[in-house]
Amino acid sequence: MSSAGQAIEPIDLYDEPGLVLRLNAYLTEKLGRPVEIGALKRFAVGFSWITYGFSIPAPGIEGVTGLILRLGPALGLFAPYSAAPQYLSLKALEGHDVPAPRAYYWSDDAAILGAPFFISELVRGEAPIPWGPGSEMSDEFRHSLGAQFTDALGALHNIDWQRSGLAELAANVSVANAGLLQIEEWERNYHRWALKAYPMFDFALRWLRAHQPVAPRVSIVHGDYRLGNFLEVDGKITAILDWELVHLGDPHEDLAWFCLPQYRGGTKLMGKLIARDEFYARYEAKTGFAVSEESMRFYEIFNLVKLAATHMAGVYAFERKGFYDMRMPAMGTQIAPVLRQIEKALEANA
């Protein structure tokens, strides 16, 4: 509701001509010159943020003419959204050895384009995926990508984020409470999304609370670091994508996520790219701290909890938000297998 008590007319995020007009007005104001963008091209990626590609005439923004607009819809999987963490993280990466799109503008004011949004550089490339036919890679190609992906992760975790805008979002995170803050975050999400109680989930939360490790440092954590979330051209990684779960925390969280069996594509390789020993050794050489097996066990359970909660978000979005995308209830069928995976992992840790 507006301050005058009148309902604000929602903006249709799929009305492409209307969005073009709004983007023209926004970019004209930001760039201080008349801007007329080209047609929007919608990318069918993810379940959450809506992604459009578009171009603007030269000189573009800082010389870049191919751009991406990402919008966080009010009914999206993890809504309500803020574009700030993604924008601030991408800005923090600039000048570091983490290939990522350059970010230009953002706002959480839904009156501008209809939803929180950010505008970034369009990076070219293909996204190899961990599953399905056609996703096979030669050993040389896979090994090269594995080495680059590991190095980029080390570089990400080495960034001194306190010198960046991310410091604003730090919320007193420390090496002692990094695990606890994430447990609390995902427990809140569970209570928000679960349509019923899942005793295994509660049992896992109890175990996590009793086994919190101390982080080796507080780092920028990508939150979904795996095959499928980067682009490559001719074997060179051009951009790490999908920063919507980015936060500050224990770097082991990303390491353990990358090592989840779900993302090994039926191989023995971590992330379908690299042997565990080589992954650890390369990462340790890059970051200068030893990977802790105890922390890896904690974050394996934590990440499975996070994955189960994400599947619950799919069920919730379909049941309560009016989504009719049949991928959502299909995601929901994976709650029990992931909970069973947690049960087995806890047995192995007993």
Partner 1 sequence: MNNSLDRLIEGMVETLRREILPNLEGEFVRGQAYGVIYALKSLQLRASWSPAFLLAQIGALRELAEATAELPAEAPHVLLPDELPHDAGQLEKLRDTGDAAVSALIGWLAAHEHPAGDAAVRAYIHRQLKHELKTSAKPMFAEISLGKEQEA
Under 8 Å between Cβ of 93 and 100: yes
Residue 30 or 327 with smaller CB distance to partner 1 = 327
Residue 171 or 210 with smaller CB distance to partner 1 = 210
Binding test (CB under 8 A) with partner 1, winner from 203, 214, 292, 345:
203
Binding test (CB under 8 A) with partner 1, winner from 209, 217, 236, 281:
209
CA distance 142 to 264: 12
Binding test (CB under 8 A) with partner 1, winner from 30, 42, 188, 206:
206
Binding test (CB under 8 A) with partner 1, winner from 14, 43, 131, 289:
131
User: Counting contacts by CB under 8 A, is residue 343 touching partner 1?
Assistant: yes
Binding test (CB under 8 A) with partner 1, winner from 29, 202, 284, 294:
202
Binding test (CB under 8 A) with partner 1, winner from 46, 278, 329, 345:
329
Residue 249 or 314 with smaller CB distance to partner 1 = 314
User: Counting contacts by CB under 8 A, is residue 191 touching partner 1?
Assistant: no
User: Counting contacts by CB under 8 A, is residue 339 touching partner 1?
Assistant: yes
CA distance 145 to 157: 18
Residue 217 or 327 with smaller CB distance to partner 1 = 327
Binding test (CB under 8 A) with partner 1, winner from 170, 195, 233, 290:
195
CA distance 59 to 55: 11
User: Counting contacts by CB under 8 A, is residue 200 touching partner 1?
Assistant: yes
Phi, psi of 305 (to 5 degrees): -60, -45
Phi, psi of 342 (to 5 degrees): -65, -45
Please tell me the count of residues contacting partner 1 according to CB under 8 A. Answer: 37
In terms of Cα–Cα distance, which of 262, 252, 346, 348 is closest to 293?
A: 252
Binding test (CB under 8 A) with partner 1, winner from 155, 169, 198, 238:
198
User: Counting contacts by CB under 8 A, is residue 167 touching partner 1?
Assistant: no
Binding test (CB under 8 A) with partner 1, winner from 38, 181, 319, 345:
319
Residue 167 or 336 with smaller CB distance to partner 1 = 336
User: Counting contacts by CB under 8 A, is residue 318 touching partner 1?
Assistant: yes
Applying CB under 8 A, the residues found at the interface with partner 1 are 129, 131-133, 195-203, 206, 209-210, 312, 315, 318-319, 323-330, 332-337, 339-340, 343
